[in-house]
């Protein structure tokens, strides 16, 4: 059987962030609640000239920038729950910005934080049938709950781009997976709201209930649940600890504290300083694990994807020989080092930035350090362009 999976992976986040200590001080909350209670240090804050489209284009640009990968794909799948249009797919803008070929299928996918995984499985099924296909999957999101809300400390933004192929350089993904879906109202965002609505404690409970159901389904399809590392969807970093405790309990595996940390901690490095990036979060976690820990070739990674509402999937994957050569770890680290820290009032101002909704022309200030930006909104249309033309 042909091996299929991730040939390249790169992520992008905004060049500005706020420290959660400053948010805690402003809200008169003990900062330990965020550092020790949910394991978050900072959260990424979007600039006025970026949105889910620019984050996505900037993530994917890293894959193509050095010229080693041809700018030609058979499909571009764009997963998001913070799309910029109810009709037009964000990927349509991204394809043009990246200079990819026109004879390419482009579509946007939605199911809360889960949809990138649906895209991954749909793409891999097609590649198994036709191993010459190259599919670009991008997950991109901005998590917004509102200032002063319980969800505030779990905001963030980011995008991840993955080139999916046969005989992948980084990670081969198994065909069988454990699935579970249910109709629940733990987190949602009506069309008229630009912030999410959430029943926070219930959403955490649904996440863990769904994980258990996925483990059960996985067991019925696959013999072994033995993984060397696990990456979980990360609404906040400590969710991985809760999930991994559940995983160990359900599978009857016992680990020392060091082994437990070894299995999940490297996957949390980026999330701790970016925050939730919804659809991208699991795969930025995977990038974090690959970039920050030397993993043995052939090691098994378990991936748990969860999207509120809800849908979950547990997958198994195998690390490929020489995978480190295909990573962009140095670029990721430089991008995070190069960010500007906002104080609380700068963060609140950025959060409350008003975008034109009346069709008037609004030229946006140049703030992003990314390759692509939202330059203006005019006649209800968004205009994207390279930052340096």
Please report, as ranges, the residues that interact with ligand HMG according to CB under 6 A.
30, 32-33, 36-38, 81, 112-113, 150-151, 153-154, 187, 198, 200-201, 203-204, 207, 233, 235-236, 239, 276, 278, 306-308
Strand partners for 315: 177, 303
Q: How many CB atoms lie within 10 A of CB 181?
A: 15
Do the beta carbons of residue 107 and residue 89 sit within 8 Å?
yes
How far is the CA of 171 from the CAs of 25, 187, 277, 378, in angstroms?
42, 31, 22, 42
Query: Please, which residue, 72 or 201, has the CB nearer to ligand HMG?
Result: 201
Is residue 113 annotated as part of the catalytic site, yes or no? yes
Decide: 10 and 332 in contact? Cβ < 8 Å.
Answer: yes
Q: Are 24 and 343 in contact (CB under 8 A)?
A: no
Exactly one of 180, 233, 244, 332 is catalytic; name it.
Answer: 233
81 catalytically annotated:
yes
| Burial grade of 86 (CB within 10 A; 0-12, 13-18, 19 or more) | exposed
| Phi and psi angles of residue 231, each rounded to the nearest 5 degrees, phi first | -115, 130
Joined together, the tokens standing for residue 177 give 């997976």
Options 50, 61, 108, 113, the catalytic residue: 113
* In the complex, least distance from residue 331 CB atom to ligand HMG, rounded to whole angstroms: 26
Closest residue to ligand HMG using C-beta atoms: 37
User: For ligand HMG, which is the closer residue by CB, 186 or 217?
Assistant: 186
Closer by beta carbon to ligand HMG, 276 or else 287: 276
Q: How many whole angstroms separate alpha carbon 116 and alpha carbon 223? A: 26
Burial string for 125-161 (b: 16+ CB within 10 Å, else e) reads ebbeeeeebbbbbbbbbbbbbebebebbbbbbbbbbb
Shortest Å distance, C-beta 79 to ligand HMG: 11
Q: What is the DSSP string of 141-175?
A: EEE---TTSTTGGG-EEEEEEEEEEES-SSEEEEE
- Give the shortest CB-217-to-ligand HMG separation in angstroms: 19
- For ligand HMG, the closer CB: 48 or 153: 153
Catalytic annotation, pick one of 81, 108, 152, 313 = 81
Joined together, the tokens standing for residue 166 give 């046969």
26 in active site: no
Residue 31 to residue 37: CA distance in whole angstroms: 9
* Cβ proximity to ligand HMG, 30 vs 182, nearer residue: 30
Taking the complex as a whole, how short is the minimal distance between the CB of residue 195 and ligand HMG, in angstroms?
A: 11
Report the residue number, 75 or 210, with the smaller CB distance to ligand HMG. Answer: 210
Nearer to ligand HMG, 260 or 378 (CB): 260
Q: Whole-number minimum distance, CB 184 to ligand HMG, in Å?
A: 10
Report the nearest approach of ligand HMG to the CB of residue 198 (Å).
5
Pairing of strands 105-109, 75-79: parallel
Q: Which of 250, 245, 218, 219 is nearest to 232 (CA)?
A: 245
In the complex, least distance from residue 246 CB atom to ligand HMG, rounded to whole angstroms: 13
The set of catalytic residues is 81, 113, 233
């Amino acid at each position: 059987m042909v091996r299929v999976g991730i040939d390249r992976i790169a992520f992008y986040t905004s060049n500005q962030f706020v420290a959660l200590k400053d948010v805690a001080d402003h809200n008169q909350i003990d900062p330990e609640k965020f550092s020790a209670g949910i394991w978050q240090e900072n959260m990424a804050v979007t600039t006025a000239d970026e949105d889910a489209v620019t984050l996505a284009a900037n993530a994917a640009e890293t894959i193509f920038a050095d010229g080693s990968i041809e700018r030609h794909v058979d499909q571009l799948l764009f997963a998001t729950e913070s799309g910029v249009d109810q009709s037009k797919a964000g990927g349509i803008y991204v394809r043009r910005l990246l200079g990819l070929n026109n004879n390419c299928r482009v579509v946007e996918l939605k199911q809360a934080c889960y949809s990138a995984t649906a895209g991954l499985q749909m793409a891999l099924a097609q590649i198994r049938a036709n191993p010459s296909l190259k599919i670009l999957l991008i997950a991109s999101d901005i998590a917004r709950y509102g200032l002063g809300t319980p969800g505030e400390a779990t905001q963030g933004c980011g995008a991840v781009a993955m080139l999916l192929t046969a005989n992948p350089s980084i990670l081969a993904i198994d065909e069988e997976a454990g699935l579970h879906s249910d109709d629940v109202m733990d987190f949602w965002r009506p069309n008229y709201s630009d912030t999410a609505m959430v029943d926070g404690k219930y959403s955490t409970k649904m996440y863990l209930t769904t994980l258990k159901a996925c483990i059960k389904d996985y067991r019925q399809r696959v013999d072994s649940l033995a993984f060397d590392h696990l990456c979980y969807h990360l609404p906040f970093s400590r969710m991985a600890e809760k999930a991994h405790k559940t995983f160990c309990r359900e599978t009857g595996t016992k680990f020392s504290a060091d082994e437990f940390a070894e299995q999940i901690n490297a996957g949390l490095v980026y999330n701790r300083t970016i925050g939730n990036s919804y659809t991208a979060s699991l795969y930025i976690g995977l990038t974090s694990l690959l970039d920050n820990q030397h993993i043995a070739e052939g090691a098994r990674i378990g991936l748990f994807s969860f999207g509120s509402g809800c849908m979950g999937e547990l997958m198994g994957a195998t690390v490929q020989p020489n995978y480190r050569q295909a990573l962009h770890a140095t670029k990721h680290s430089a991008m995070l080092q190069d960010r500007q820290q906002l104080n609380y009032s700068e963060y609140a101002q950025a959060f409350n930035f008003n975008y034109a909704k009346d069709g008037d022309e609004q030229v946006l200030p140049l703030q992003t350090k990314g390759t692509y930006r939202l330059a203006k909104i005019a006649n209800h249309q968004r205009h994207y362009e390279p930052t340096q033309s």
